Chains A and B, each alone.
Chain A
Amino acid sequence: MMMLRASTDAAIPNPSTDAAAAARSILEEFVAAVVGDDPDRADAARATIVDQLGSDWLIDTAAVVANFEMMTRLADATGACLTPGRIEAAASIRAQLGLDAFPSARR
């Protein structure tokens, strides 16, 4: 399926180069900063993306953030559930990441 399902279905390889790993680190900090409540941290994260990756990356990363601000609410407000097969298949990674502790896991 698409969007949130694709987020878990798509194989996300480990970055194979130092540059790719650095980019992932920048993206990780950007997401953490823009969902937080520290405007200075968010400004710094935007500046880092623009300086290190380019202004197009800022736009395209913010667009992906926007998409999942949309899709997470869609899933949670419509009570979207995983099939039993997917629940079973993801048991170990859920435990590893602590996903069962999310309030939205109570369904």
Chain B
Amino acid sequence: MPATEVSEIPIRPDLVAAQAEAWRHVTSPGASWTGDERRAMAQIALAALDDTEPLPPWASPTQTGRAMPGAELLPDAAVDAVYLIARHAATLTGDWYRTQLARGIDPFAYVEMVGVVVAAAAVDGFFRSVGLERPALPPVVAGAPHGHHPEVEAAELNWVPVAVPADQQAAVVQGLSAAPAEWDNVKQLAAAQYVPVDEMGELAWSRGTLSRADMEFVAARLSAARECFY
């Protein structure tokens, strides 16, 4: 590195706080999964992202015998799904989603699982990009899943069920609405990583570094690199 080492660069306090909150969230009980199970999902997602010899999209950890941290706490279907979402999300299809349901993952549990994986990918993505060691996941918060789910219905714009009324919001917004606490976590991360929700319509908004147009440029390049059609 040049004169300024990355390790000496301060990280914005709001970003540190949002990431710490995300880590607390993914290791706490949710609606369908315990904190132990959610932490195991995050561990598997991070292991998938760290994997220097990743499995191809058509293979899975449980089929191939690839050891995954925390896998003993989860159904095989969840282990495989978490790995694939973390590592090969662009290859997922509606048929694949329906296969996960056939393997026994409840739709509410699936959506919550997606929320855990995307939060793990966010925190990992920052530290990987900036070249610093990722903070460890915190200890688990004990407790049973609360079991409270919103009223949902099938959507035209997503494979997953969404909170009623469906298709009144963009697909990416309603995608986690069956697990509202996961969407809340995504929103609080996005406010620190990208643009606060109440500033979203202000195209001149900036933290003083990247302009909004620069942010959209980075977003577009990253989305293309991840082959995300949406």
B111: Cβ under 8 A from any A Cβ:
yes
Chief secondary structure at chain B's binding surface: helix
How many angstroms between the C-alpha atoms of A101 and B210 in the bound complex?
Answer: 30
Could you tell me if A76 and B92 are in contact, using CB atoms closer than 8 angstroms?
yes
| CB of A95 within 8 Å of the partner chain | no
Number of A residues near B (Cβ < 8 Å) is: 67
> Is A80 interfacial (CB 8 A cutoff)?
yes
Q: Are B209 and A70 in contact (CB under 8 A)?
A: no
- A:70-87 near B, CB below 8 Å: 70-83
Q: A1 to B133, alpha carbons, bound, how many Å?
A: 33
**CB neighbours of B118 from chain A (8 A):** 70-71, 73-74, 77
Q: Point out the residues of chain B lying under 8 angstroms from A57, CB to CB.
A: 209-210
What is the bound-complex CA distance between A66 and B156, given in angstroms?
28
Question: Within the complex, what minimum Cβ distance (angstroms) separates A84 from chain B?
Answer: 10
**How far does the alpha carbon of A83 sit from the alpha carbon of B170 in the complex, in Å?**
9
Q: How far is the CA of A101 from the CA of B228 in the complex (A)?
A: 11
CA distance A45 to B12 in the complex (A): 20
A27-B217, A63-B126 are known contacts. Are A75 and B173 too (CB-CB below 8 A)?
A: no
Is A3 a contact of B194 with CB atoms below 8 Å? Answer: yes
A75: chain B residues within 8 A (beta carbon): 171-172, 175, 228, 230
Contacts A77-B85, A77-B92, A78-B114; is A62 near B160 (CB within 8 Å)? no
In whole angstroms, how far apart are the Cα atoms of A6 and B121 in the complex?
Answer: 20
Q: Are A104 and B175 neighbours in the complex by a CB distance under 8 Å?
A: no
Q: Could you say which residues of chain A place their CB within 8 Å of the CB of B227?
A: 102-104
Please determine whether A66 and B126 come into contact, CB atoms closer than 8 angstroms: yes
Mark contacts of B184-214 with chain A using CB atoms, 8 A cut-off: 1 yes-contact digit, 0 otherwise. Answer: 0010011011110100100100011110111
Question: Chain A residues near B146 (CB, 8 Å)?
Answer: none
Tell yes or no: B221 within 8 A of A by CB. yes
Q: In the assembly, what is the distance between CA of A99 and CA of B4, in Å?
A: 38
Q: Is the CB of B12 within 8 A of A59?
A: yes
Chain B residues, Cβ within 8 Å of A78: 111, 114, 158-160, 171-172, 175-176
Return A79 CB to nearest CB of chain B, in Å. Answer: 3
Q: A4-B230, A27-B214, A61-B210 are in contact. Are A55 and B158 (CB under 8 A)?
A: no
Q: How far is the CB of B45 from chain A (nearest CB, A)?
A: 9
Give me the 8 closest cross-chain CB pairs, A-B, nearest first: A79-B159, A78-B175, A69-B125, A80-B171, A1-B170, A66-B126, A62-B129, A70-B122
B residues at A contact (CB < 8 Å): 1-4, 6, 9-12, 15, 85-86, 89-94, 97, 111, 114, 117-119, 121-126, 128-131, 156-160, 169-173, 175-176, 186, 189-190, 192-195, 197, 200, 203, 207-210, 212-230
7 new A-B contacts at CB < 8 Å, known A28-B217, A73-B117: A2-B173, A4-B223, A46-B1, A60-B210, A67-B125, A72-B226, A79-B158
